[in-house]
Every structure is written in C-alpha cells, then in structure tokens.
Amino acid sequence: MRGLIRLIIILLAIVQSVFFWKIKKREPKKILIAHDLLLGDTLLLAPLMKRIHEKYPNQEKYILAKPGFIPLYKSTPYRFTALLFNPKSFLDIWKLFFTGPYDLTFVAGDNRYSWLARAIGSRWIVGIAYDKPQWKNWMLDEVKAFDLKPATWADMMGRLVDGKDPKPYKKDEWLSPNIKKALSFKNSKSFVVCHLGASSPLKFWPAKYWQTLIDELQHKGFEIFISVGPGEEYLIKEADPCNTCQHIPGTYSLLEMWSLIDHAKLLISVDTGIAHLAKLSNTPIVTLFGPGSTVTHGVGNFWKLNPHMNITVSSFPCRDQKILFRRKVQWVKRCGRGVKECNTPGACMEAIAPKQVLNTLLNSNLFSGLMEG
C-alpha cells in the first residue's frame, strides 16, 4: 500500500509540474506547512507559523500533523488549522487532495514532502536546500540554506519566510487546552515534573541520578511527579523504587501532559518533545542534553523570554557529527547515532552528574523564582 501511495504521489506531482504554471503570488490566498516530524520538531515550527501569520494575517493557513498531535491545534494557533496526516494512510492522502490547491507551501525537514505538496496542487514550494538523496529537492521552487552561523532549528525555520524574524514568543500566544477530566495534580500546590522518557534510550538519564535529584528536591519541599511516554513505565519503577512520588504513566494524552506541565513549578526533562511542549506553556524548564545539541534545539531567539536552563557536558568527544536533517552544516556538533552505532551507550548522559544539575539549578535565578513563587 505504501508503495502504491508513493507512486500515485509521484505521478500526480509530475502531472502538476507539466500542465500547471508554477507562480509565486505576492498575496497568496492559501498556505500550507508540509512535514512529518516528531513531536519536538513539530512544536518548534511555531516560529515559522508565527512569521507566516505576521506576513499573511488574513490568509487561510494549514499545517499537516500526526493524528496524536491534532488536539494541540484545537485553538488554531496563529490562525493555522491542522490537517490529519499519516503518510501510510491512503485515506489521509486522498482527503488532502481535496484541500488544495495551495498558493504557497513551506516544507520543513524532509523534502520528500515537496512531492506531496506538488501532487495536491501547490503552486510555489519553499524548502531547505541540499536534502539527500537529490531527487527529494526536485519539486522545490525556492530553496533556503541553513544559517552560516550557529542558530536553533526553530529560528531557522522562521527564516524560511522572506523578511524579518518573528517576534519572540509570549505566553498564551498558543492557548492552553481546556481539560474537563479530573486529574490528580490539580490538588497539588507546589510540584516539579521530572520527565524520564525519550525517543531514544541513548537520551535516558541513569535511574540512580534521578533518585538523587528527586531526593534533594523533596527535601526542598517540592512534591515530585514522574512522567514517561507509552511503554516506558519501567523507568518510573527504576527511578522511584520506594514509591515516594506521584506517577504519570504513558497513558496521558498530550493535552493532559500540557495541563500537567502548565500547573507545575518546574519541568526537568531529557531532550525530548515534552521539553518543547513546556515552551508553549511558558513553564520553567531544565533540559538535560546528551547526544543532542543545545545550539540547534535550545531556546534561541524565538523562545528567549521563556525561563529555561540547558545542562550538558560541553565538547563531549562523540558529539562530533555535523549533520542536521541529512544536511551537512559546518557549525553543528551533535550525535545522531542509533543504539547499534553507539560505542559507549549512555556515556554522554552519565557524564551529567546530579550534583551539576543541582548546583546549576540552586545558583540560578530560576530556582530563586520557584522558591519565591
């Protein structure tokens, strides 16, 4: 089925390219953001969404989203409507054909989705240059390069749109969801969320480190909520063997996780999508970076007003890859190796000692604000 879907998209894209003019309108009426990113990188498209809205405030605006992400767009942030998209679903692809044509499409991440954009009738497609293999770039009408100087992925996505950068994010630009369901944390007054899960076990922080950190925070008077993603419940048992914390298993929806983080005093998380979700609620964040880059996935200009701290071990030896979304970028220093490729699994996370996290937190303005609050 997936092969058939790809064949249909390719044929339709070629037909659209041959028989329809590719025109960049000064005032497009219908705009699309095409992608199939994971949660964190999807949320980091907020600068792109905001910049499009600043430049085209009255146009129809749409963004593709995985099924589980659709509820996050219920408030239509920056006037964007989310369109359900699963590249393996013929029905989802079929429905997209009836939403077009689009005057302007921005492709984020994988340029293969420029073919989908053309197939559903996009008249002008903009994306980041030099994706691999080369055929992915054939349907782009306009290409932008990654910045020559260090910048965040989020800020660079905002610069896909001609003109100035979007204004920095402020709380409630992306409205928080209204959760009617009774949730256990709503009776807690002062709690910290520790999020243990991640897309790769190479990002996990050792359980004994979490135990030390949690013990110290409890002595400071904070109630601790431990959260994980689906299938990661075992991480909770390892980090809290004595059952002294509140547990949030992987059954929480993204809206419920947003509400949990929104009510928290602080989120401490490994580098994962939940950390980026906290940026929308303006909750103070401490993010632990191991293989990832604090430069490409840190705060940057757009999120600079958010209370945050990034903790890592700088210049870790194997954080030596210069690849970002398959493009070679000279200033990038990160590690995108999988579990089977890593010669020292977990070493970059084990190098972040609990004492480093505690000392950095306790000596920061972030912690002073927590205690005063």
Whole-number pLDDT of residue 368: 62
On the question of pLDDT at 100 being above 70, the answer is yes
Please give the backbone phi and psi of residue 159, each rounded to the nearest 5 degrees, phi first.
-85, 5
Domain with CATH 3.40.50.2000 in the chain: 2-158, 187-372
Whole-number pLDDT of residue 15: 86
Structure tokens at 305: 């007003």
Cis peptide before 87 (omega within 30 of 0): no
Whole-number pLDDT of residue 255: 93
Pick the CATH number of 2-158 from 3.40.50.2000, 3.40.50.720, 3.30.465.10, 2.30.110.10: 3.40.50.2000
Average pLDDT, integer, range 212-230:
94
On the question of pLDDT at 182 being above 60, the answer is no
Comparing 189 with 48, the larger pLDDT belongs to 48
Are 117 and 16 within 8 A, CB to CB?
A: no
CATH domain 187-372 topology: Rossmann fold (3.40.50)
Please give the backbone phi and psi of residue 114, each rounded to the nearest 5 degrees, phi first.
-70, -30
Whole-number pLDDT of residue 278: 94
Tell the burial category of 220 from Cβ atoms under 10 Å away from its Cβ (0-12, 13-18, 19+). Answer: middle
CA separation for the pair 111, 286 (Å, rounded): 32
Cβ neighbours, 10 Å, residue 363: 10
Whole-number pLDDT of residue 302: 97
Range of lowest pLDDT (58-67, 182-191, 215-224)? 182-191
Query: CA 325, 329, 332 angle in degrees (round to 5)?
Result: 90
Range of lowest pLDDT (29-33, 69-73, 181-185)? 181-185
Whole-number pLDDT of residue 20: 73
1 pLDDT band, cuts 50/70/90, is: low
Residue that is written with structure tokens 């037909």 in the block: 15
On the question of pLDDT at 354 being above 80, the answer is yes
Range of lowest pLDDT (187-191, 276-280, 359-363)? 187-191
44 pLDDT band, cuts 50/70/90, is: very high
Comparing 106 with 14, the larger pLDDT belongs to 106
Closest of 185, 13, 186, 36 to residue 110, by C-alpha: 36
CA separation for the pair 313, 293 (Å, rounded): 11
On the question of pLDDT at 142 being above 80, the answer is yes
Whole-number pLDDT of residue 369: 61
Whole-number pLDDT of residue 141: 95
On the question of pLDDT at 367 being above 80, the answer is no
Give the type of residue at 326. Answer: R
> What share of the chain has pLDDT > 70, as a percent?
95
Residue that is written with structure tokens 């992987």 in the block: 250
On the question of pLDDT at 307 being above 70, the answer is yes
Whole-number pLDDT of residue 296: 96
Evaluate if pTM is beyond 0.85.
Answer: yes
Give the type of residue at 368. Answer: S
Q: Any bridge partners for residue 191, and if so which?
A: 223
Whole-number pLDDT of residue 85: 95
Average pLDDT, integer, range 264-284:
94
CA separation for the pair 358, 217 (Å, rounded): 9
Closest of 140, 142, 148 to residue 161, by C-alpha: 142
Mean pLDDT of the chain: 92
